[in-house]
Amino acid sequence: MADVTLDRITKTYNKGQTKAVEDISFSVNEGELFGLIGPDGAGKTTLFRILTTLLLPDTGTALVNGCDVVKDYKKIRSQVGYMPGKFSLYQDLTVEENLQFFATVFNSSIEENYDLIKEIYVQIEPFKKRRAGNLSGGMKQKLALCCALIHRPTVLFLDEPTTGVDTVSRKEFWEMLKRLKVQGITILVSTPYMDEATLCERIALIQAGAILSIDTPQGIIEQFPEKLYAIKAGNMSQLLQDLRSSSLVATCYAFGEYHHITLTEEGEQTTENLLASLKEQHAEVQLSPTKPTIEDCFIKLMQAS
């Protein structure tokens, strides 16, 4: 059964002048960890706000737990958990006071659902008398998650929970989400970091208010239409320019240590020629087929659209 369904949702701002999202349809299954992946301004927050009943869509319908986001907003509000992107808790309340407050507001108590947040809460419990404003970024994030979970929601919406957080804290956060999934909570999470996509069960790639693709991360990678190569050489910046000007290369993007390239039809047949001509100008040229990442797919889909 689908837990969250969007059917042709469109939303504009400034009386229709600014398009936020257009004709978006997808559904999230019960107990699924679903990722909404896209850069800032893609429309992720707008979708989250529509699903959490904070915004009315211009057209289209959306259901959460079978309830309509417009008509049954009260029901939805008592069932879901939401962590907005700029959610910063009450900085002048202590850890304990924050948690207590949100528990009460959501008609619950810390004791009632302690088992759900226990694993996360024990990590910040030593600081429970500290004001939230004096916590580290990672700890704030954990507290915010506890606050969003304290009433045992059926669906959890996390809008960019890892933005601006360092790699170590990000890894920890995703570990926590995996454990929550085991508890049967449906989780919708958005992120601008493409490398986090593979940590979700299914993902929707979103750009400029439109969905580029929806599938499992593996499925999206398999749909990558061309052969992808990784290439490196001594002078990577020069190599990038040379590859771009080559008629044999279709696309070329820097990907960390390597550049990822796809070749034209002619290029595929004459890979050796390409390699040979590059070796004339570059030292230590290495070229090998490589598996696309979600970011490769995103770029490809972005350009196709």
Given the rule CB under 8 A, which residues bind another protein? 13, 38-42, 49, 52-56, 73-74, 77-78, 80, 82-93, 97, 100-102, 104-107, 135-139, 147-148, 163-169, 171, 192-195, 207, 236-237, 240, 253-257, 295, 298-299, 302-303
The answer to whether the CB of 295 falls within 8 A of the CB of 195 is yes
Between helix 236-245 and helix 271-281 the angle, nearest 10°, is: 140
Residue 108 or 270 having the CB closest to another protein:
108
Residue 87 or 224 having the CB closest to another protein:
87
Residue 71 or 269 having the CB closest to another protein:
71
Query: How many whole angstroms separate alpha carbon 303 and alpha carbon 288?
Result: 24
Question: Read out DSSP for 24-79?
Answer: EEEEEETT-EEEEE--TTSSHHHHHHHHTTSS--SEEEEEETTEETTTTHHHHHHH
Q: Minimal distance in Å, beta carbon 269 to another protein?
A: 27
Query: How many whole angstroms separate alpha carbon 203 and alpha carbon 215?
Result: 6
Taken in order 193, 194, 198, 201, the sign of the CA dihedral is: positive
Residues in the chain: 305
Residue position matching structure tokens 């004709």: 23
Bridge partners of 214, per DSSP, are: 204
DSSP-assigned letter for residue 248: T
Q: Minimal distance in Å, beta carbon 86 to another protein?
A: 4
Residue 208 or 268 having the CB closest to another protein:
208
Residue 90 or 224 having the CB closest to another protein:
90
Q: Minimal distance in Å, beta carbon 165 to another protein?
A: 6
What is the CB neighbour count within 10 angstroms for residue 290? 16
Q: Minimal distance in Å, beta carbon 289 to another protein?
A: 17
Q: Minimal distance in Å, beta carbon 30 to another protein?
A: 20
- Using DSSP, state whether 134 is helix, strand or coil: helix
Q: Minimal distance in Å, beta carbon 148 to another protein?
A: 8
The answer to whether the CB of 208 falls within 8 A of the CB of 42 is yes
Residue 273 or 286 having the CB closest to another protein:
286
Q: Minimal distance in Å, beta carbon 273 to another protein?
A: 26
Residue 2 or 93 having the CB closest to another protein:
93
- Using DSSP, state whether 195 is helix, strand or coil: helix
